[in-house]
Amino acid sequence: MHSVGICGSDVHYWQHGRIGDFVVKDPMVLGHEASGTVVKVGSGVTHLKPGDRVAIEPGVPREMDEFCKTGRYNLSPTIFFCATPPDNGNLCRYYKHSASYCYKLPDNVTFEEGALIEPLSVGIHACKRAGVTLGSKVFVSGSGPIGLVNVLVAKMMGASAVVITDLSASRLQKAKEMGADFTIQVKNETPQEVASKVESLLGCMPEITVECTGVQACIQTGIYATRSGGTLVLVGLGPDMVTVPIVNAAVREVDIRGIFRYCNTWPVAIALLASKRINVKPLVTHRFPLEKALEAFETTKRGEGVKVMLKCDPSDHSP
């Protein structure tokens, strides 16, 4: 293994031992945003060889069920997924994974970029589910790593204007640097007031809202802000039960869609990175060797920077 990013879910498992129905019952290796170098392959593997640099897709179907047959393997209830109990992740020196879900990296794509394909994939899947297209007006709620990749992907897919909200001024500044057209620092406003600010900045209500926080007030804002006939995609995960103005969404035909991870995104992401049409490098703000993993997790827990990256191979100094 070379580069492994720390995700909010890693920190949540570390601190709370569960996310929803996924409960840590035995010791578990964390990490699912990863890239590395192939050291050995099975006898049936023909597309990879030792020395190849690869990005690792963490979700691997265990059976060819109805979801796999329709190309939505991320929804398979028996899927293996790195660092989701009881499956171990890849924040380690050496790791074994299905070759079909290891993707060779072009020479001009770094290990760090390879690891960042995982969060980037969330943005690709969310924006596809949202139907972002040429000229779309998009509202992104939350300027953490997932909000930022949604800004990148929405602009890449043709959005003419993207507005993003957050509590943190520094994160909103990062969003500006990564392509957001407008930012709103939320303080004590009601969801309706934030929605009004979104409309004022865009000059209209957005057709698409991508909610990346899971916070009840933000989901409420997403419904109020979205144009009638538009789409709200729920990316962030919060409490099991939330109170939302569902009638407001229903009578205005606002479609509410969920996403669960991603599927069929690694080839797309690699093509975008190799062609330099998208730049994820500014996401990484902190780097630690594997020996300082605890310090890296503490940094993420405190909300410092954006993406914290761990280097698992002390002998390899390449990015």
Mean pLDDT of 11-27: 94
Rounded to the nearest integer, the mean pLDDT of the chain is 96
Dist CA 6 CA 31 (whole Å): 7
Mean pLDDT of 172-190: 97
Residue keyed to tokens 């049409």? 277
CB 319 within 8 A of CB 2: no
How do residues 48-93 score in pLDDT, each as one tens digit? 999 999 999 999 999 999 999 999 999 999 999 999 999 999 999 9
Proportion of the chain above pLDDT 70, given as a percent = 98
Confidence of residue 192 (pLDDT cuts 50, 70, 90): very high
pLDDT, residue 93, reads 96
Question: Environment class of residue 210 by beta-carbon count within 10 Å: exposed (0-12), middle (13-18) or buried (19+)?
Answer: buried
Confidence of residue 313 (pLDDT cuts 50, 70, 90): confident
- Check pLDDT > 70 for residue 317: no
- Check pLDDT > 80 for residue 315: no
Confidence of residue 318 (pLDDT cuts 50, 70, 90): low
Dist CA 315 CA 224 (whole Å): 52
How do residues 223-243 score in pLDDT, each as one tens digit? 999 999 999 999 999 999 999
How do residues 149-171 score in pLDDT, each as one tens digit? 999 999 999 999 999 999 999 99
Paired tokens of 231: 């789409």
Mean pLDDT of 297-315: 91
Mean pLDDT of 121-136: 98
Residues counted in the chain: 319
The pTM assigned to this predicted structure is 0.96
pLDDT, residue 51, reads 97
DSSP state, residue 87: B
pLDDT, residue 166, reads 98
- What SS3 class is residue 314? coil
Mean pLDDT of 96-125: 98
Using omega within 30 degrees of 0 as the cis cutoff, is the peptide bond preceding 86 cis?
A: yes
